[in-house]
Amino acid sequence: MLGKSSGRVKAARRLARRASRAELGLFLAEGPQAVREALTVPGCVREVFAVAGAADEHPDIRAAAADLPWHLVDDGALASLAETVHPQGLVAVCRFVDRPLDELLSPAGTAPRLLAVCADVRDPGNAGTVIRCADAAGADGVVLAGSSVDPYNGKTVRATVGSLFHLPLALGGDPRDAVRRLKEAGLTVLAADGVGETDLDAAEERGLLQRPTAWLFGNEAWGLPDDLAALADHRVSIPIHGRAESLNLATAAAVCLYSSARVHRRADRG
């Protein structure tokens, strides 16, 4: 059984630092749900650290990781790898899963018709929740552009609740360049903007949500810069029917993505 002074544990612990993650192209996925979903991606998981009893408690995970290094560790070692107050007994070392934006826009199969684009989204919980919402809505991918948070930050990974391993993720560089490339690929770019010239209900009535769409979301504090929002095809606000001042980023993303997904499903049925 390995302790926290073990060389293997120390090497994995380095991945808590962004610089080490970037250098090695590896990150940590904590908890049975994240490890289970990571194992569905061929070649994603490199090794698993588990406390005694984890194999018995999660036999499906142990079976899926049968050909991978499975390190039995004590509670102190696992706690040194985990970032939660109450670790759930499993941590996996995984390879990065993002892909180039061009690959996301030109897949081998059907071209994307619903994407979420985060521009300078800094909060890891928000970024992870947007990824989770995009997955739940059936979107074709997520783009993290500009100075957005590292998607392999432990809090971001946990906030995705496994969705990080379900749908394509691209790191889009400069958000203005990303918007131009999205439009060149035939996507309508809708900027989620509290002062947009049309609201979400009107956008649906005008047929704007029927097209292949990339929703553009800005920073939690200051939203989208005017010059970036101006590059979008339309600025769309979410109508507030009660007395709330606004919606937070992740909630706004969920509303917009589900609105587009509903219209697309209706068109598919029709």
Average pLDDT over every residue of 23-30: 98
| pLDDT at residue 34 in the model | 96
Q: Are residues 84 and 105 in the same domain?
A: no
CA–CA gap between residue 187 and residue 210 (Å, rounded): 11
Confidence label for 91 from pLDDT (cuts 50, 70 and 90): very high
Mean pLDDT over residues 67-84, rounded? 95
Q: What residues form DSSP beta bridges with 169?
A: 142
Looking at the fold, whether 84 and 205 belong to one and the same domain comes out as no
Give the number of other CB atoms < 10 A from CB of residue 49. Answer: 28
* pLDDT given at position 109: 65
Closest residue by Cα to residue 167 from 251, 216, 104:
104
What's the whole-model pTM score?
Answer: 0.94
User: 170 and 116, same structural domain?
Assistant: yes
In the predicted model, what is the mean pLDDT of residues 209-224? 93
pLDDT in tens, 174-215: 999 999 999 999 999 999 998 888 999 999 999 999 999 999
Distances (CA, A) of 18 to 10, 15, 54, 221: 15, 7, 28, 23
How far is CA 71 from each of CA 2, 88, 226, rounded to the nearest angstrom?
7, 15, 51
Stretch 224-237: mean pLDDT? 95
pLDDT tens for 102-131 read 999 886 667 799 999 999 999 999 999 999
Residue with the bigger pLDDT between 109 and 63: it is: 63
Mean confidence (pLDDT) of the chain = 94
| Beta strands in the chain, from DSSP E residues, in sequence order | 26-30, 45-50, 70-72, 90-95, 114-119, 141-145, 169-173, 188-192, 198-199, 213-217, 234-237
Does residue 72 share a domain with residue 28? yes
Confidence (pLDDT) at 245: 84
Last residue of a domain, one of 54, 74, 95: 95
152 and 239 inside one domain:
yes
What one-character-per-residue DSSP string does 225-266 give?
-HHHHTTSSEEEEPP--SS-S---HHHHHHHHHHHHHHHHHH
* Pair 77, 211 in one domain: no
The reply to whether 90 and 134 lie within a common domain is no
Same domain? 86 vs 119 = no
At residue 255, the pLDDT reads 97
Q: For position 132, which CATH number holds?
A: 3.40.1280.10
Where are the extended beta strands (E) located within 51-113? 70-72, 90-95
Q: How confident is the model at residue 222 (pLDDT cuts 50, 70, 90)?
A: confident
Residues 67 and 112 in one domain: no
Q: Residue 270 — very low, low, confident or very high, per pLDDT cuts 50/70/90?
A: confident
Give the pLDDT score at 108.
Answer: 66
Domain end residue (candidates: 45, 70, 95): 95
What is the CA 143 to chain-centroid distance, rounded?
8
Domain annotation covers residue 82: yes
- End position of a domain, from candidates 74, 95, 116: 95
Residue 25 structural domain: 7-95
Report which of 235, 141, 231, 224 is spatially closest to residue 190, judged by C-alpha positions: 235
How many CA atoms lie within 13 Å of 15's alpha carbon, on the beta-carbon side? 24
1: in domain = no
What average pLDDT does this structure show over 142-147? Answer: 95
User: Total structural domains in the chain?
Assistant: 2
pLDDT score of 40 more than 90 = yes
Using a 10 angstrom Cβ sphere, with 0-12 exposed, 13-18 middle and 19 or more buried, the burial of residue 244 is: exposed
- pLDDT number for residue 194: 86
pLDDT of res. 76 = 95
